[in-house]
């Protein structure tokens, strides 16, 4: 079975000091997981998969294994999550900083093996980062984004869903066992849709880190909630206008995935995305809310066909 390798890239902006009184590093490290099969058909074709707000790069293990024989798959842990550094200033936990980090990552990838084809898969927050990059043609990307998968996200986000997420984001949690953690995470993630116990435990394990006192805590910096909880509805409306402008400038071919019961991506927003800008194709999954995890084989095959089979329609 193909397994990923863990790598790091240094990005602008100070990381949090490792200990009280320690010197604050000049830059922060972003971790990224690389999936590349020994006989990868085209290492110059890179698919970047970016996770949601409180998740991490190992969310894409199933999809990455399906893609890796043909292309190089890169799954970053966005700063503040997973194996990446935490930021010195919580105000940096926002899309502009994340997008700048992705530019640093793409530059490092291009230096290793020149990128000729670049695709993007973004779940929720990862999709917003993708819109920010692909919607600004002047950015120094090593190659233009060719195809983009937006997983249950768009320029307009439902305010009630953001309020729901804010109820648990950054709340301290301690779990005696990994199994107890999986159960607790399922309680706030059942909208992801049906999963076997094995699938859910596999998704949950990278969400944890050992606690100093024993047991487990969540993998991310609780301070990622600071800018999120400072967001007001009028601010979200202003941000929506900017995101639509960025979306309309995307030149990539776009596949929009939507959970049929999603509370974050409204049907009206999905229809608008199909009718303007890059005119996204939309595929909807029944029995799923926010957001499809891309673990179910039907979901994986939709994405795989879109990215790898020329001229194919989901």
Cis peptide before 291 (omega within 30 of 0): yes
pTM: 0.95
Q: What percent of the chain has pLDDT over 70?
A: 96
Lowest mean pLDDT among 54-58, 85-89, 236-240: 236-240
Helices (H) and strands (E) in the chain, counts: 10, 11
Residue 2: the pLDDT is 85
- What's the pLDDT band for 35 if we cut at 50, 70, 90? very high
Longest dimension (CA), the chain: 57
* Beta-carbon count within 10 A of 247 CB: 22
- What's the pLDDT band for 19 if we cut at 50, 70, 90? low
Contacts of 303 (CB under 8 A, 6+ apart): 63, 121, 149, 255, 257, 294
Question: For 102-123, what is the mean pLDDT?
Answer: 97
pLDDT digits (tens, 9 = 90+) for 146-189: 999 999 999 999 999 999 999 999 999 999 999 999 999 999 99
Task: Judge contact between 189 and 199, C-beta under 8 A.
Answer: no
Question: For 244-252, what is the mean pLDDT?
Answer: 98
313 pLDDT above the threshold of 70: no
d(C-alpha 173, C-alpha 273), whole Å: 37
- What's the pLDDT band for 20 if we cut at 50, 70, 90? low
* DSSP code at position 100: H
Give just the sign of the alpha carbon dihedral 169, 174, 178, 182: negative
263 is written with which tokens? Answer: 């509370």
pLDDT digits (tens, 9 = 90+) for 45-78: 999 999 999 999 999 999 999 999 999 999 999 9
- What's the pLDDT band for 266 if we cut at 50, 70, 90? very high
Decide: helix, strand or coil at residue 269.
helix
């Amino acid at each position: 079975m193909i397994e990923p390798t863990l790598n790091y890239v240094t990005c602008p902006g100070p990381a949090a000091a490792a200990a009280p009184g320690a010197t604050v590093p000049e830059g922060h490290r972003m971790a990224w997981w690389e999936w590349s099969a020994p006989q990868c058909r085209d290492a110059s074709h890179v698919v970047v998969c970016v996770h949601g707000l409180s998740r991490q790069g190992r969310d894409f293990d199933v999809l990455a294994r399906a893609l890796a024989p043909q292309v190089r798959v890169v799954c970053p842990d966005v700063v503040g999550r997973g194996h990446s550094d935490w930021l010195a200033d919580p105000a940096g936990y926002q899309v502009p900083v994340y997008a700048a980090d992705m530019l640093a990552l793409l530059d490092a990838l291009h230096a290793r093996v020149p990128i000729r084809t670049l695709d993007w898969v973004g779940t929720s927050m990862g999709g917003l980062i993708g819109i920010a990059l692909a919607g600004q043609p002047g950015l120094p990307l090593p190659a233009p984004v060719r195809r983009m998968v937006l997983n249950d996200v768009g320029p307009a986000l439902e305010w009630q869903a953001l309020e729901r997420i804010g109820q648990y984001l950054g709340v301290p949690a301690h779990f005696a066992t990994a199994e107890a953690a999986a159960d607790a995470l399922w309680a706030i993630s059942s909208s992801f849709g049906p999963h076997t116990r094995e699938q859910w435990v596999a998704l949950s394990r990278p969400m944890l880190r050992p606690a100093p006192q024993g047991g487990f805590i969540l993998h991310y910096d609780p301070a990622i909630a600071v800018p999120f909880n400072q967001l007001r509805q009028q601010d979200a409306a202003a941000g929506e206008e900017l995101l639509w402008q960025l979306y309309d400038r995307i030149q990539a071919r776009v596949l929009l995935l939507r959970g049929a019961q999603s509370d974050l991506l409204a049907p009206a927003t999905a229809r608008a995305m199909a009718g303007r800008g890059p005119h996204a194709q939309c595929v909807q999954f029944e029995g799923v809310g926010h957001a499809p995890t891309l673990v179910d084989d039907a979901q994986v095959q939709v994405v795989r066909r879109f990215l790898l089979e020329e001229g194919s329609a989901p």
